[in-house]
Structure 1
Amino acid sequence: MSETTPGRGVGAGDLDGLRARTRALCARFPDQYWRDTDRDRRYPQDFVDTLTASGLLAVLIPTAYGGSGLGVTQASVVMEEINRSGGHSAACHAQMYTMGALLRHGSDELKERYLPRVATGELRLQAFSVTEPAAGSDTTSIATAATRAGDDYVITGHKNWTSRILESDLALVLARTSDRGADRTRGLTLFLVDLRQVRAEQPATLEVVPVRTMFNYATNQVFYRGMRVPADHVIGEVDAGFRYVIDGWNAERILLASEAIGDGYWFIQRAVAYANEREVFGRRIGANQGVQFPLADAYMKVRAADLMRYEAARLFDEGKPCGAEANMAKHLASEASWAAGNAALDTHGGNGFVDQYDIERKFRETRMYQIAPVNNNLIKAFVATKVLGLPRSY
């Protein structure tokens, strides 16, 4: 299969080199490694440490803070290649998009204090604590509260789907600092929480309850019980945190689209190789159009999603509005990877359910992209109302 065409303004050679570098690193972590971590629901710490040491997790951090100073286009290629190699970038993708809120909206003091150490891997910023059980996708309805108390804010509430907080040194936490008024996006504030300080000085204020999911995803419920955070750790302005979260959502959607695209290519590559080798009734099964057509259809869907990913990333890197493109990229990529996963499972037949072929593992992993970080139905509603001008449905 040929490589995808990079977005405008990005040199093909630059991306090819980045792909090769990422692939070489991922080759050190073969299928058995990911099989074992999935079976044991173990965080792939050594993979993340190796990726961090290589500098690949710091591609979005400016050179002034020790990073590579590259764009979302390049970051998306790293995420794609991890999944395309058979790995699972959910173990580390949050650092790519969470640190954007700190970079674009944090104070100079916070950036200088934390970003260089995030770039070197001394500190890990992997946790983004936003979603709550009652609010779900309606982020403006969250109830976790932050109350000013002298030089601190005191945070109390309950979050779910706060992933990798046990593996993180820092977390971004969204909490309500004032009542929601006519502008329901106001009243929420984004905090940078130094988890090392919390664990050392006020451990009783933070309870983390791991949640076992259908694939290896280090996610948790979190209970904040009067956790104190210094007021100077507010990101940007008080009550304006929802805007900063939205700002990061576009990058998040683009990066997760690239992961789904990586899965899609992986499924197709594995299925094509299997179809070219497996013989039944005296010939290779790849000669059957019943096998060929679903794979060809899935491949075209992945390629189309790939192009939308590059378009969304180009707009993001150029500082242009990209909400529609980022959402469409995520939607198209998640649907394409699911089509590729089903085609690969059908191609492998019963062997697709055997863990040694890795299809069933990746099949479980790629299903998430239709649900998270935003449900595909919400993307359709967004496109219908924001792009097509139809009446709001939610």
Structure 2
Amino acid sequence: MANSRVDPHQDMRDALRNLCAEFPAEYHRKHDENATYPEEFINALTNAGWLAAMIPEEYGGSGLGLTEASVVMEEINRSGGNAGHCHGQMYNMSTLLRHGSEEQKRFYLPKIASGELRLQSMAVTEPTTGTDTTKLKTTAIRKGDRYVVNGQKVWISRVQHSDLMILLARTTPLAEVKRKSDGLSIFLVDVNKALRSGMRVNPIRNMVNHETNELFFDDLEIPAENLIGEESKGFRYILDGLNAERTLIAAECIGDGYWFIDKVSRYVSDRIVFDRPIGQNQGVQFPIARAYINIEAANLMRFEAAHRFDSYQDCGAQANMAKLLAADASWEAANACLQFHGGFGFAAEYDVERKFRETRLYQVAPISTNLILSYVAEHVLGLPRSF
């Protein structure tokens, strides 16, 4: 695909593409078919330092920003892989980096950077509250030097491949706070200890190879020293992680979009029907070209969101808009790719149907496109709140 733009991250991309090339489509296809976790691929990314991109050098990381982390996620998806297996470590890092104590950072970050510990899970969503986070029902009650947690979470990913988990719970009853966003606190949970006492995991089968679960907490005890930041200010803290998450998901969608465009452009140039390549027909060209244009536009918003995040500026609107634009563009590219492959698009060996399923997720998660529209309407355009 022709592109005259000078890319300041080209060296990163080249290194990532070389690593990803060691794990070809057959590798990812096999894990999708067997619903297994690509352990070797994640270990390779970890050992090469890519999943520690945002950890400062003093704690054993690369000292890079969300901008560079987003390039990592993009390249994984552009290579035909699925960054959903490891992206949690990137955005969960933001909460610990920005709001954890110095003692917490010095203890955990070097171990995360080396791969000794994995921080892949964030437990926020609940069955009855969804995106209405301030009404979550999971409670953490202080008892001496511990908090006791009771409640339930859903759609909590990669618990089976995490040593640590970010948990958002209510520490002050909703009826006792002035603002409904008050009274929520964040904790760092030792997953292995929790699994032995107080936390039960119920895996959820789904249409993509995405490891996700229901969690049940029954008097789970968490040491008070595992509280991140100040008690009752967790909602504000978690927003950093959510903005990072949406920006990284946008990058993944952009990677998917380029994968679909590259794949379908090659196919329609080679596929001969009625003595001519089908890519010669404008009815084929136009949907592909439009999808590519929209991916390029989403790419610009992704970098704007990442830049603002790295500069400690408000980036909520940009992160949400980047996620919506990128999710729409990747889905548009996916539809064109599947359509113009015809029957072959449904054949597993072409990988189109696998990537098609994977990118469809991002119309819904981590926040649906409709909720992003509501956010922009209220917080950017100043329209009356719709819910």
TM class by shorter chain equals over 0.9
In the TM superposition, structure 1's runs of 4+ consecutive aligned residues that sit over 2 Å from their partners are 2-6, 196-199
Q: Spell out the pairing of 1:316-355 with structure 2 (5 A cutoff).
A: 316-355=309-348
Change (3 A) 1:5 1:369: farther
Change (3 A) 1:77 1:3: farther
Match of 2:266 in 1: 273
Q: Spell out the pairing of 1:1-394 with structure 2 (5 A cutoff).
A: 1-3=1-3, 5=5, 12-13=7-8, 15-180=9-174, 181-199=177-195, 203-394=196-387
- Tell me, what secondary structure is at the counterpart of 1:49? helix
Alpha-carbon distance in structure 2 between the residues aligned to 1:5 and 1:128: 36
Task: Provide Cα deviations, 1:123-159, integer angstroms capped at 9, x if missing partner.
Answer: 0000101100000110111101111111110111111
Alpha-carbon distance in structure 2 between the residues aligned to 1:67 and 1:273: 38
Change (3 A) 1:347 1:145: same
Task: Provide Cα deviations, 1:106-128, integer angstroms capped at 9, x if missing partner.
Answer: 11111111000000101000010
Q: Which amino acid in the other structure matches residue 146 of structure 1?
A: A
What is the Cα deviation at residue 46 of structure 1? 1.0
- Tell me, what secondary structure is at the counterpart of 2:55? coil
Question: Is the 1:174–1:189 Cα contact (8 Å) retained in structure 2?
Answer: yes
What is the Cα deviation at residue 4 of structure 1? 8.2
- Tell me, what secondary structure is at the counterpart of 1:161? strand
- Tell me, what secondary structure is at the counterpart of 1:160? strand
Specify every segment of 5 or more residues in structure 1 that has no aligned partner in the other structure, as ranges. Answer: 7-11
How many equivalent pairs are there? 385
Change (3 A) 1:356 1:107: same
Alpha-carbon distance in structure 2 between the residues aligned to 1:392 and 1:308: 25
What is the Cα deviation at residue 5 of structure 1? 4.9
- Tell me, what secondary structure is at the counterpart of 2:376? helix
- Tell me, what secondary structure is at the counterpart of 2:238? helix
- Tell me, what secondary structure is at the counterpart of 2:330? helix
Alpha-carbon distance in structure 1 between the residues aligned to 2:348 and 2:193: 41
Identity among equivalent positions (%) equals 54
What is the Cα deviation at residue 351 of structure 1? 0.7
- Tell me, what secondary structure is at the counterpart of 1:172? strand
What is the Cα deviation at residue 282 of structure 1? 1.2
Q: Which amino acid in the other structure matches residue 128 of structure 1?
A: M
Alpha-carbon distance in structure 1 between the residues aligned to 2:348 and 2:207: 14
Question: Is the 1:123–1:170 Cα contact (8 Å) retained in structure 2?
Answer: yes
Question: Is the 1:5–1:307 Cα contact (8 Å) retained in structure 2?
Answer: no
- Tell me, what secondary structure is at the counterpart of 2:155? coil
Q: Which amino acid in the other structure matches residue 249 of structure 2?
A: L
What is the Cα deviation at residue 165 of structure 1? 0.7
Q: Which amino acid in the other structure matches residue 145 of structure 1?
A: T
- Tell me, what secondary structure is at the counterpart of 1:227? strand
Q: Which amino acid in the other structure matches residue 191 of structure 1?
A: F
Alpha-carbon distance in structure 2 between the residues aligned to 1:136 and 1:308: 26
Alpha-carbon distance in structure 2 between the residues aligned to 1:144 and 1:300: 43
Change (3 A) 1:321 1:356: same
Q: Which amino acid in the other structure matches residue 114 of structure 2?
A: T
Question: Is the 1:298–1:336 Cα contact (8 Å) retained in structure 2?
Answer: yes
